[in-house]
Structure formats: C-alpha cells, structure tokens
Structure 1
Amino acid sequence: MAILVTGGAGYIGSHTVAELLARGKEVVVVDNLQQGHREAVIGGTLEVGDLRDADFMAEVFRKHKVEAVIHFAASSLVGVSMKEPGEYYHNNVYGTLCLLEAMHKAGVNNIVFSSTAATYGEPEQVPIKETDRTQPTNTYGETKLAMERMMHWYDVAHGVKYVSLRYFNAAGAHASGRIGEDHSPETHLIPLVLQVALGQREQISIFGGDYATPDGTCVRDYIHVSDLADAHLRALGRLLDGGESAVYNLGNGRGFSVREVIEVAREVTGHPIPSVLLDRRGGDPAVLVASADRARTELGWIPQQPELRDIIASAWQWHSAHPHGYRG
C-alpha cells in the first residue's frame, strides 16, 4: 500500500517523501511542478498533474493502492494571496475539494494536512494554542482554514479522518545534501539572508526595529524541515492506527528575532551580511510562536534540531552547494 503525497516535489513535501522512503514506505507523488522540482523527488513514483483534474486524480487512485494521503499542494505566498484571492481559493480550496472527492470515491479515508499557524491571525496569547481563536488576517490563512473545515465535514459525512498540522517557518535542508529549499520568488528570511552571504543580493532588509521584543525586531518560530517531516509521519501513524481527527501546532516553543537570525547567519557563513532597517510592514505581529505541547504529548513529537545555529548551518550547506537551487 502506498502513501500519496500531494505537492511532494515542493520543499517540505520532498523532505517528507525522503523520510517515508527511508522508513521503507511505498510513495506516490502528485505535483503539477508549477512550484515544485522534479529533481526534489528522490524516489517513489511521480505523477505529474493537477488536483483539479478529476480524470487525472481518478487514474492516480486507480493505478496505485493508496492507503493514506499527505497533502502539501497549495499556494502559500501571503502577499500574492491578498492581490489574487480568486487564484488562492481556486488552487487551495477547490483543489482540496477535488482531492477529498477523489479520496472518497476511491475509499481512502486518511489524510494528513500541511496547514499553517496563519489560520490564527493576530495571536490572542503567545505561545499560540490549538484552542485559540482562528481569525486569519490574509487570504492565504483563510483558505487554509477553509481547507481544514472542509476536512471536518468530510469526516462527519464520510468518515474521512484527518490530522491538520499548523506551523510557521520551515527552514534547513536534508542531511544528505540532496534536497533543500528552492523557491521562486524567495520570501523566507533564512534563504534571503544566505543569498546575501552568497553575493546574490547586497543586503538584507529588516522591517521594523521598534517592536516590543528584546531587540526591537519581529520574533518568529523556526522549525527544521526534517523535524516537520517527522511530525507528518507521526500524524500519519496516528491515523493508520485508527486515531480520530485532530489539529496540532508544531513549534520550537520559543522564537528567534530577525536580528538573531542575521547574527547567527554571520557566524555560520563567515560573511558580514549587511542589513538595512526599514519601516514596519503592515500586518506583521511582534511575536508569533506556537505551543507544541499537544503534539509532544499525543504524537510523541520532539524536534531533534531545535537550535537556530543547526538549522541555519544545514540551510547554508545546501545553498552554498546549490547557489542556484536545483538549477545548479
């Protein structure tokens, strides 16, 4: 029996595929390769196509004996989601509807969902707990919340069990050096900082230095991508063991500021990494950190690489060896 990984040619998806393969699982990847990379799929079977193509998805489930799905396929740029909400609803929400329909017709009743802590919006408390209010402040977060709610009602109606994993910032690269982070455009802080060290940009921008944080810059939760992959497999195991649907936050339990990230990157790379302080961006909360107590208790998930230095060092190993991503 196979595990179907949608978006498995993307960053977190490819690392989860690698972990599934390392544990002896049969893997089928579905990806339209609009953002994913064929080279990132290091094993298993790659089926190139779109979730919204009903005939394609029916053929995937017909060809492969799928026992569960891990769902990563979604658009995820907050800024773009605010300018093109229709595209985000069509790709994320409608795409998930098509996936759930295909699963239901094929009799596949287990799905692990790569969600986001953006479903919470402005936090009521820090660290954020799963029971906190969900009130997204951008279209991206709203579509992910809609996807979660859709899964809930498919569970009620059809018994499709799901685990939704909410997290903020994935970072780092696989220990093998074969796969890493390659986005276009790149919007994540750590790879942007490392681009400065590689001479691909002159400086890194710091948006706001007067927040109510220890050094005045925003604080965010960073998790090593391999730890995220492990969490998805633990969630999968819960479902395959007959567990009920659930929502879990994934986080380090503490955050790192923008200035901390830059300073550690300077130490790791040996590059001065010039920075420039700019005005705040609208909608940036001072601190976003998720509580992962429930995941630790119920899934036994404990990050193995929680230190910022280790996360950045693994990212640097990938980016310095692949300065142009999968293109070389």
Structure 2
Amino acid sequence: MTWLITGGAGYIGAHVVRAMTEAGERVVVYDDLSTGVAERVPEGVPLVVGSTLDGERVAGALAAHTVTGVVHLAAKKQVGESVERPLHYYRENVEGLRVLLDAVTAAGVPSFVFSSSAAVYGMPDVDLVTEETPCEPMSPYGETKLAGEWLVRATGRATGLSTACLRYFNVAGAATPELADTGVYNLIPMIFERLTQDTPPRIFGDDYPTPDGTCVRDYIHVVDLAEAHVATARALRTSPGQDLTLNIGRGEGVSVREMLDLINAITGYDLPPTITPRRPGDPPRVVASADRITTHLDWKPRHDVQDMITSAWEGWVRLHPEAARS
C-alpha cells in the first residue's frame, strides 16, 4: 500500500512520514512548501511540490505513485489569522479538501485519513471531551475543520471510501531536534521565545475556575500522534468501510502555570510570568477523553509532558544556540 501524505514536509506531517516509513509503509509526500521544509522529507521518499487546490497535480501524483491511501494534513492552522482572513482559510482548508477528495474518489483510492482538531469543540463545558461532545467551533479555523469532517464523512457514505477524522489536542515535542516545530504559534515555543529574549512569559488570565486559576489543556507528544496515524491507517486497510472519528490526546490536563514551572526547570531559566487579561474565547479546561482510540486501535500515548518539553527544547536550542543555559 502507498500513502500520499499531504503537508508531509510540515512539523506534524514530517513526523507522520517518519512513523509510517519506520512501520514499513510506502509513502509519498505532497506539499506546497509554503510552511513545510523539503529537508524534513527522508531520503528515498518522493516529494511532489503542489497545492491541494491543483486537481490535475493531485491526480497526477495519485496515478504516478499508485496511491492507495491518503493522509491529509495540509491546511492553514493559525486561529488568529483565520479570524482576519476567513475567505483564505475556507479556500485553502475546505476547497482544497474538496478538490483532493474529488481526485481521490476518481482514482478509486480506498482509504482517507483527515487531520482535524479539538478546535471543532469550541468551549466545551465538560471535564472530559468525548467524540460525542457537541461541536461549536469559535473561529473560522475550527469551522473549516468541522466542515472538513462533514465533507469527508459525506464522501465516504456516498462512495464507500473508508475514512477517519482525527481530532488533535495540543501537539508538542519532537522525535529529533531537526524535526522540531519552527513556528511560534503554540504555548511551548511561545514561552521558549520569550525566555530566550529574557522577557517574562505571559499568562493570559489567572482567575479561571481551575485549581491554580490558569487554563488547563491536554498535550500530546507529536511522536505519539504520528503513531496514532499509523494505527489508524492500518485499521482502515484491514477493515474497509469504516467511518472513524477519534480524539488524539492523553486524557490528562496540564495548566499553563504548571507548564511554565516545568519549562523553567528543564531549560534552566527562572523568569516569573506576567499576568495579563484573559484572551476572548479561551475556555478554562479542554481535556480529551481518549477512551475510543485506545479501545478501537492498538495505540496509547507513551510520552509525558516532560518528554515533550525536553525534546522541543533540544530543537529550539538547535535553531537558537544562544538560548542554552550551561
């Protein structure tokens, strides 16, 4: 079986490529390199440079490499930017997916794994978010991911395509320093950046109804996330006709203040945070129930938050040697 991985030169995509190839799967990367890095693609893995909006390019890649499954990660993913540029996000994330699915079904590809997000849930008022928790996204980004799920499932029902929608929670860490996240959009790299500049990290609100007053989130190591893709891909291959929707998280909450304390301990920095007002739309607690994926698939997370921070810091120091503390 050959898997086309869209966005396979990105941070998460490169880890999925690595996990799939190490599991013995044949892989082809399809990436427009707008944020991806070609050097992340392993030697011997074909790289097709193109947009998912280019139906002819997609169809050509599917045919040339005899693709029998697709893992679709390519998407725009900055929540704030999506508020400022909703049309751009709907075009890239929804129309790009529609074009891709059109090519996939025309080629008779039997399996499709869609990269979704916990952003589809919005502000759930529950201790643990299950796959049945109502979806009420609060940003155009979250809306595009939910619309993408609808499109994937509808296509599966109409054509017999085996599908899986994977709802990622907060992804962190790296398999190796060279695969670390180079963006500064998530909590851990945002804190790293401020520490490196000897600037106090920020906590957006410390008056939430949580044990220490700061927001609580569920963090998943990118290596565990990538291995969940391998387990999902194999499940679709061995049991055709499936329609899976799965949370990918650890089922454990970590507060922002706890995360800061761990980062200070691991990096050697000790800068007290600055408390600023809450950001609009930040829910107090978003923690996954991971029961469904651990029950249905041969997968469970193996890495803890300390592993995530340590591996992410090694990648950060590789790019910013001045950040290292002796």
TM-score with structure 1 length normalisation?
Answer: 0.94
> Aligned partners of 1:136 and 1:315: how far apart in 2?
28
- The equivalent position to 1:317 in structure 2, one of 314, 317, 326, is 314
> Aligned partners of 1:161 and 1:109: how far apart in 2?
6
Offset of residue 143 of structure 1: 0.6
Offset of residue 42 of structure 1: 2.1
- Does 1:173 find its partner at 2:174? yes
TM-score with structure 2 length normalisation?
Answer: 0.95
CA displacement 1:92-125 (0-9 Å, x = unmatched) = 0000001100101111021111100111112141
Structure 1 equivalent of residue 157 of structure 2: 156
Structure 1 equivalent of residue 250 of structure 2: 252
Structure 1 equivalent of residue 227 of structure 2: 230
| 8 Å CA contact 2:4, 2:62 repeated in 1 | no
CA displacement 1:259-318 (0-9 Å, x = unmatched) = 11110011101111342110000000000101000001001221010x211210111111
> Aligned partners of 2:259 and 2:286: how far apart in 1?
15
> Aligned partners of 2:5 and 2:220: how far apart in 1?
20
Structure 1 equivalent of residue 20 of structure 2: 20
> Aligned partners of 1:291 and 1:87: how far apart in 2?
32
Matches for 1:127-276 after TM superposition, within 5 Å:
127-174=128-175, 176-183=176-183, 186-197=184-195, 199-200=196-197, 202-243=199-240, 244-276=242-274
> Aligned partners of 2:318 and 2:182: how far apart in 1?
12
> Aligned partners of 2:319 and 2:212: how far apart in 1?
32
Number of aligned residue pairs: 319
Specify every segment of 5 or more residues in structure 1 that has no aligned partner in the other structure, as ranges: none
> Aligned partners of 1:39 and 1:162: how far apart in 2?
30
- Structure 1 segments of 4 or more deviating over 3 A? none
| 8 Å CA contact 2:4, 2:30 repeated in 1 | yes
Specify every segment of 5 or more residues in structure 2 that has no aligned partner in the other structure, as ranges: 322-326
CA displacement 1:27-55 (0-9 Å, x = unmatched) = 11011011111122124111111010111
CA displacement 1:133-161 (0-9 Å, x = unmatched) = 11111111111011110011111211111
- 1:126 alignment partner, SS class: coil
- 2:165 alignment partner, SS class: strand
User: What RMSD over aligned residues (CA atoms) do the two structures have, in Å?
Assistant: 1.3
CA displacement 1:11-35 (0-9 Å, x = unmatched) = 1110010111112222110110111
> Aligned partners of 2:28 and 2:197: how far apart in 1?
35
Supply the AA of the counterpart residue of 2:305: L
| 8 Å CA contact 2:30, 2:48 repeated in 1 | yes
- 1:170 alignment partner, SS class: strand
> Aligned partners of 2:72 and 2:4: how far apart in 1?
8
| 8 Å CA contact 1:202, 1:274 repeated in 2 | no
| 8 Å CA contact 1:124, 1:132 repeated in 2 | no
- Does 1:34 find its partner at 2:31? no
> Aligned partners of 1:201 and 1:39: how far apart in 2?
31
Offset of residue 201 of structure 1: 5.7
Offset of residue 128 of structure 1: 0.4
> Aligned partners of 2:300 and 2:139: how far apart in 1?
30
Identity of aligned residues (%): 42
> Aligned partners of 2:81 and 2:62: how far apart in 1?
32
- Shift in CA distance, 242/257, structure 1 to aligned 2, threshold 3 Å: same
| 8 Å CA contact 1:206, 1:278 repeated in 2 | yes
> Aligned partners of 1:111 and 1:200: how far apart in 2?
43
| 8 Å CA contact 1:221, 1:289 repeated in 2 | yes
Structure 1 equivalent of residue 324 of structure 2: none
